[in-house]
Amino acid sequence: MSKPGNEKQQEDEQQDINFSDDEYPTGEVPLNSHFYIQRSPIEQRCYEEISKPGSLIRIKASQQTGKSSLLARILDQAKSQGDTIVTNC
């Protein structure tokens, strides 16, 4: 038996996740996308690295694995820290 508060939370979560097929993302997904899969250890290491002066991060992976979306989050974190960003894209 579930708690009364949990039913409302589950309904809210289900409403947030209802997507049609034409909404399936391609390329970089927005920062607030429900489709983004967090890679906690990798993201945390990147955030720690960008806090160091003169840091350099290299992202290598197969196609369609979230590199651009990860980069967007790293850049957003750096901007929120007030860092200057230089990219070679």
Residue 59 within any structural domain of the chain: yes
- Based on the structure, what is the number of domains in the chain? 1
Residue 46 within any structural domain of the chain: yes
Range of the domain at 15: 4-80
Token couple for 56? 């350099």
Residue 52 within any structural domain of the chain: yes
Question: Is there a contact between 34 and 19 (Cβ–Cβ < 8 Å)?
Answer: yes
Residue 85 within any structural domain of the chain: no
Residues in the chain: 89
**How many CB atoms within 10 Å of residue 10?**
11
Token couple for 72? 């967007």
Residue 66 within any structural domain of the chain: yes
Residue 29 within any structural domain of the chain: yes
Residue 23 within any structural domain of the chain: yes
Q: Could you list the mean pLDDT of each consecutive 10-residue stretch along the chain, which spans 89 residues?
A: 53 53 76 89 94 90 92 94 82
The whole-model pTM stands at 0.67
Residue 89 within any structural domain of the chain: no
